[in-house]
Amino acid sequence: MSRSERLLDLLQVLRRHRQPVSGRRLAEETGVSLRTLYRDIASLQAQGAHIEGEPGLGYVLRPGFMLPPMMFSEEEVEALVLGSRWVAKRGDNRLAMAAADALAKIASVLPPDLRATLDASPLLVGSRQPIAEGIDLGLLRKAIRGERKLDMRYRDNDGRDSRRTVWPFALGFFEQVRVLVAWCELRQDFRHFRTDRIAEAAMQDARYPRRRQALLKDWRSAQERAACVEGAEAADITSAKVAADKN
């Protein structure tokens, strides 16, 4: 392993720990001697990394130090390419364009050998049938980011329309459908809505009264409780598709 790769690994390990971590543990996780670890920490500090601490007390990396894209490993570049290709095939048009733009920005600052890896990546994403959408998914993502209420007209599995005001906080992407996860004011509970059945949607100026992260946490807890009652493993976003098909 080169010295630059070793320093990168050390930064990645430090990022995983939000509290001070001992030098001995850092040395074990990075596979170097304690003496080498102390030298590497000093090198990173000299390069501007905000590493606080000292031997015997532990170390913590403070926010603010960014690595240039050229420090990506080959596998990290392949992961970026695969993710971008997946979004291009599975996301809506805006997300597909954003993925292509992001990959182009990364490619522009990569060294020649890694740029070749990016251009010639053998990791492919299979094609799929087009998904019909009743509304612009960009509107849903905007409402989620801004924590805004949505007024919408929704058509259930039997073709019945209903008016809903919801608090959207997540969007799930599946092979054939996309699912909006939200708190429904009508049902006073979490609900899952297939986006191809949303006939109309309008974002309100008003923010909903809870933070998106709190709603997501409570939704996950509700999914886990439901799974325990059914004697199944803890549920995740995939269970939202099943619920939306019944909604």
Is the whole model's pTM more than 0.75, yes or no?
no
Cα atoms found within 13 Å of the Cα of residue 206, Cβ hemisphere only: 9
- Domain presence at residue 104: yes
On whether both 11 and 110 belong to a single domain, the answer is: no
- Residues spanned by the domain of 236: 137-246
Report the candidate in 63, 65, 64, 62 with the shortest Cα–Cα distance to residue 53.
Answer: 62
Same domain, 175 and 233: yes
Q: Provide the pLDDT for residue 247.
A: 61
91 and 165 share one domain = no
Distance CA 193, CA 182 (A): 8
Are 52 and 82 found together in one domain? no
CATH of the domain at 7: 1.10.10.10
**Would you state the pLDDT for residue 38?**
92
Is 53 domain-assigned?
yes
- Alpha-carbon gap, residue 180 to 64, rounded angstroms: 34
Query: Could you tell me the two tokens for 215?
Result: 């709603």
Q: Which residue has the tokens 């109309």?
A: 200
130 part of a folded domain: no
Nearest to 197 by CA among 144, 130, 246: 246
Q: What is the pLDDT of residue 244?
A: 64
127 occurs within a structural domain: no
Q: Tell me if 126 is assigned to some domain.
A: no
> What pLDDT is stored for residue 241 in this prediction?
55
Digitized pLDDT (tens) for each residue of the chain, 247 residues in all:
667 778 888 888 888 887 899 999 999 998 999 999 999 999 888 878 889 988 888 999 887 665 554 567 778 888 888 998 888 888 888 888 888 888 887 787 777 777 787 878 888 888 777 777 778 899 999 999 999 999 999 998 888 999 999 999 999 988 788 999 999 999 999 999 999 999 999 999 999 999 999 999 999 999 888 877 655 444 455 555 556 655 6
| 45 lies in the same domain as 85 | no
Decide if 124 is inside a domain. no
Pair (163, 236) in one structural domain? yes
**Both tokens of residue 97?**
């364009």
Residue 242 located in a structural domain: yes
Number of separate domains in the chain:
3
Q: Are 53 and 92 contained in the same domain?
A: no
Looking at the structure, tell me whether residues 242 and 144 fall in a common domain: yes
Q: What are phi and psi of 194, to 5 degrees?
A: -65, 130
- The C-alpha atoms of residue 93 and residue 98 are separated, in whole angstroms, by 9
Residue 128 lies in a domain: no
Which pLDDT score is estimated for 50?
86
Mark whether 53 and 98 lie in a shared domain.
Answer: no
Task: Output the 3-class SS for 23-70.
Answer: HHHHHHHHCCCHHHHHHHHHHHHHCCCCEEEECCCEEEECCCCCCCHH
Same domain, 115 and 183: no
Kindly state whether residues 149 and 238 are assigned to the same domain.
yes
Is the same domain home to 54 and 85?
no
Q: HEC profile for the chain?
A: CCHHHHHHHHHHHHHHCCCCECHHHHHHHHCCCHHHHHHHHHHHHHCCCCEEEECCCEEEECCCCCCCHHHCCHHHHHHHHHHHHHHHHHCCHHHHHHHHHHHHHHHHHCCHHHHHHHHCCCCCCCCCCCCCCCCCHHHHHHHHHHCEEEEEEEECCCCCEEEEEEEEEEEEECCCCEEEEEEECCCCEEEEEEHHHEEEEEEEEEECCCCHHHHHHHHHHHHHHHHHHCCCCCCCCHHHHHHHHHC
